[in-house]
């Protein structure tokens, strides 16, 4: 595609989302990225939370964490550029150690991943000996290395069901753990780092959780849903499982990002409200122009938004920033990630 053709397509597809003055500029960036991709042995992976201009024109593959993890293990290209945050790029490196994995931003963290350390997991295992550890994929490699299983928001319940144990340690998102516990009919208790360090009374609950949260999803409330229903009768409310359990319970549907996309595509509802990162709503709206998405989102992930078209172009030009996972940690982590992939 020429720059003009890209510009015309952006205007047609994303004209409601991108100001007219920005379209030419973004088209030029996209054109340069596409040209460089042809010159290099590179595959670009794009998470569902990427901004629309990047999401629709740059990645070779798009999806949620589970889908992209699978793809990372299968692609033949020697270099993977992961348009997502650091823990996602680390997962690609864990699965493909022989490949070069690049992250477009030098620092693209995650409040949830940063809520727990490998030392925290070791302490939990000491307090609850023999209890299997399930770790959300939204964690860093050193935490995965201390785990028995990984999971995503899309397959967390399936992973829990596959484990033959009366108790499970589920880390680090307390809301995802609570929602999975509710879905599977289990009782949960959660701990903080301070509580573990200062002593605690062990409770005989089926799910042992951690008080980590996503700084985006924790902001949504039941009041948001009630106000939307008052103003827009018939609205279908979709929530991410990282939202508080009472918010998920008040919604019509809760699932991982790719399942949310499919739900909107297949539904005939007149209005939709997505309680998740704003760019996700933008991308779904662009893919379903005939369906009305309520523009009530006010929460964007500051970490995901560090991945821009400009940074992706610089990443291609300069082969930056390289993701490394020490082999000792990688070997431990890959077993937990592979168990996740086997369960599906």
Q: What is the CATH number of the domain that holds 32?
A: 3.40.50.10800
Predicted pLDDT at 319: 94
Residues 99 and 17 in one domain: yes
User: Are 96 and 14 found together in one domain?
Assistant: yes
Residue 120 lies inside a defined structural domain of this protein: yes
Q: Is the pTM of this model over 0.85?
A: yes
C-alpha pair distances (Å), 113 with each of 41, 203, 310: 30, 25, 25
Tell me if 138 sits within 8 A of 175, measured CB to CB.
no
Q: Is residue 140 assigned to a domain?
A: yes
pLDDT of residue 108: 81
Which pLDDT belongs to residue 249?
Answer: 95
* Number of domains the chain contains: 3
Which pLDDT does position 269 carry in this prediction? 87
Statement to judge: residues 144 and 202 lie in one domain: yes
- 93 plus 28 within the same structural domain: yes
Looking at residue 343, what is its pLDDT? 82
119, 191: one domain: yes
Closest C-alpha among 48, 174, 199 to residue 123: 199
Question: Is 336 a member of any domain?
Answer: no
Residue 217 and residue 240: Cα distance in Å, rounded?
7
Do 35 and 96 lie in a common domain? yes
Domain range for 185: 113-212
Regarding whether 72 and 21 lie in a shared domain, the answer is yes
Domain co-membership, 65 together with 77: yes
Last residue of a domain, one of 177, 212, 247: 212
Residue 169 to residue 188: CA distance in whole angstroms: 10
Q: Are residues 9 and 70 in the same domain?
A: yes
Q: Where are the alpha helices (DSSP H) in the chain?
A: 3-14, 20-39, 52-57, 65-74, 86-95, 118-127, 141-144, 156-162, 174-184, 193-197, 222-231, 245-250, 257-266, 278-287, 309-318, 327-343
Decide if 205 is inside a domain. Answer: yes
Asked which of 212, 247, 264 is the last residue of a domain, the reply is 212
- Residues 59 and 136 reside in one and the same domain: no
Identify whether 333 is part of a domain: no
105 and 160 share one domain? no
Q: Is residue 323 part of a domain?
A: no
327 in a domain, yes or no? no
Q: 338 CB contacts (<8 Å, ≥6 apart)?
A: none
Report d(CA 69, CA 155) in Å as an integer: 13
- Same structural domain, 82 and 138: no
The candidate with the shortest Cα–Cα distance to 237, out of 257, 217, 226, 253, is 253
Q: Please report whether residue 337 resides in a domain.
A: no
The Cα 292–Cα 137 span in angstroms is 32
Residue 284: CB atoms within 10 Å? 23
pLDDT in tens, the chain (344 residues): 899 999 999 999 998 888 888 999 999 999 999 999 989 989 999 998 888 999 999 999 998 877 887 888 888 889 999 998 899 999 999 999 999 999 999 888 888 899 999 999 999 999 899 999 999 999 999 999 999 999 988 889 999 989 989 999 999 999 999 999 998 899 999 988 888 887 766 667 899 999 999 888 999 999 999 999 999 989 999 999 999 999 999 999 998 888 888 999 999 887 899 998 888 888 888 888 888 888 666 677 777 777 899 999 999 999 999 999 999 999 999 999 999 888 86
């Amino acid at each position: 595609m020429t720059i003009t053709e890209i510009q015309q397509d952006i205007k047609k597809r994303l004209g409601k989302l991108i100001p007219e003055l920005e379209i030419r500029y973004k088209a030029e960036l996209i054109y340069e990225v596409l040209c460089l991709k042809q010159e290099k042995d590179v595959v670009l992976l794009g998470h569902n939370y990427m901004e629309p201009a990047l999401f629709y024109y740059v990645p070779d593959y798009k999806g949620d964490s589970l889908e992209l993890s699978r793809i990372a293990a299968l692609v033949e290209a020697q270099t993977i550029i992961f348009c997502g945050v650091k823990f996602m790029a680390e997962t690609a490196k864990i699965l493909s150690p022989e490949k070069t994995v690049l992250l477009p931003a030098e620092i693209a963290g995650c409040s949830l991943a940063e809520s727990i350390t490998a030392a925290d997991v070791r302490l939990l295992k000491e307090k609850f000996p023999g209890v299997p550890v399930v770790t959300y994929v939204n964690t860093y490699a050193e935490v995965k290395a201390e785990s028995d299983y990984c999971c995503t928001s899309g397959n967390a319940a399936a992973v829990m069901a596959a484990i033959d144990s009366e108790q499970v340690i589920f880390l680090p998102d307390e809301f995802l753990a609570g929602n999975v516990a509710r879905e599977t009919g289990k009782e949960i208790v959660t701990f903080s780092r301070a509580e573990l360090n200062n002593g605690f009374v062990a409770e005989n609950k089926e799910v042992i959780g951690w008080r980590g949260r996503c700084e985006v999803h924790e902001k949504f409330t039941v009041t948001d849903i009630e106000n939307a229903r008052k103003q827009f009768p018939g609205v279908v409310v979709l929530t991410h499982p990282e939202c508080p359990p009472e918010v998920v319970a008040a919604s019509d549907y809760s699932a991982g990002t790719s399942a949310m996309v499919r739900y909107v595509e297949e539904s005939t509802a007149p209005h939709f409200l997505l309680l998740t990162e704003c760019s996700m709503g933008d991308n779904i709206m662009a893919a379903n122009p005939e369906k009305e998405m309520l523009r009530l989102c006010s929460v964007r992930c500051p970490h995901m938004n560090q991945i821009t078209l400009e940074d992706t172009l610089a990443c291609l030009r300069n082969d930056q920033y390289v993701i490394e996972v020490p082999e000792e940690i990688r070997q431990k982590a890959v077993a937990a990630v592979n168990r996740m992939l086997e369960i599906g």
